[in-house]
Chains A and B, each alone.
Chain A
Amino acid sequence: SQQGEEDPQALSIQEGENATMNCSYKTSINNLQWYRQNSGRGLVHLILIRSNEREKHSGRLRVTLDTSKKSSSLLITASRAADTASYFCATDSNYQLIWGAGTKLIIKP
């Protein structure tokens, strides 16, 4: 079963613009993680935010977590062609990591 639901399902922006993806979940969590998957490649961990944290940064990535709304957002600033990938949120709940269906991000040159 999938708990996380990413929004939008697909996003196409110009290189240099910011990209924002959202993730909603249903049950209480210990942490929420964002992963990236390039075409034909494995999943790569981007950032983990714990339930008692509200915001976290890593390079051009900014993740927020609102546990009252059961939602998270991933912001990629100054997008690059190499950011083209699918982005997944995964929530740690009941000792399982539950994955959403992902947001497909396309960066146009």
Chain B
Amino acid sequence: EAGVVQSPRYKIIEKKQPVAFWCNPISGHNTLYWYRQNLGQGPELLIRYENEEAVDDSQLPKDRFSAERLKGVDSTLKIQPAELGDSAVYLCASSSRWQGVQETQYFGPGTRLLVL
């Protein structure tokens, strides 16, 4: 079974430029998560999708971050414009159907973003 796929693996951009990350979850997983992980820290949730609906985006900086999950499968996370403080690893994860509790999440390898 293929795992969670993310691309690109690395991205270097200058500040004020836009950037986008792509995620393909495990087949059949209805729940998809985007996290940001700073060096030496645990992941911080940015947004959670149930199928195509964003059900928790309270931590997403909506002035510059946006996300979509068309057709309830693949998802993209965009930053426009990027700031120096956005340098981090962006992780995508998926899990099986939401049942009111958090079940095991399966993570992709992440996209390491460096903003210069």
Contacts and interface: CB of A to CB of B under 8 A. Distances in A.
Interface stretch (A14-22, A52-60, A71-79, A93-101): A93-101
A42 to B, nearest CB: 4
Nearest to A99: B42
Interface stretch (B11-19, B67-75, B96-104): B96-104
B103 A90 contact: no
B102 A42 contact: no
Interface residues of B, number: 21
Given A97-B45, A99-B42, A45 B101 contact: no
A41 interface: yes
Given A4-B42, A43-B91, A97 B105 contact: yes
Contacts of B43: 43, 88, 99
Interface of A: 2, 4, 30-31, 33, 41-45, 48, 88, 90, 92, 95-97, 99-102
Contacts of A100: 42
A90 B42 contact: yes
Contacts of B103: 48
B56 interface: yes
Interface string B26-43: 000000000000001111
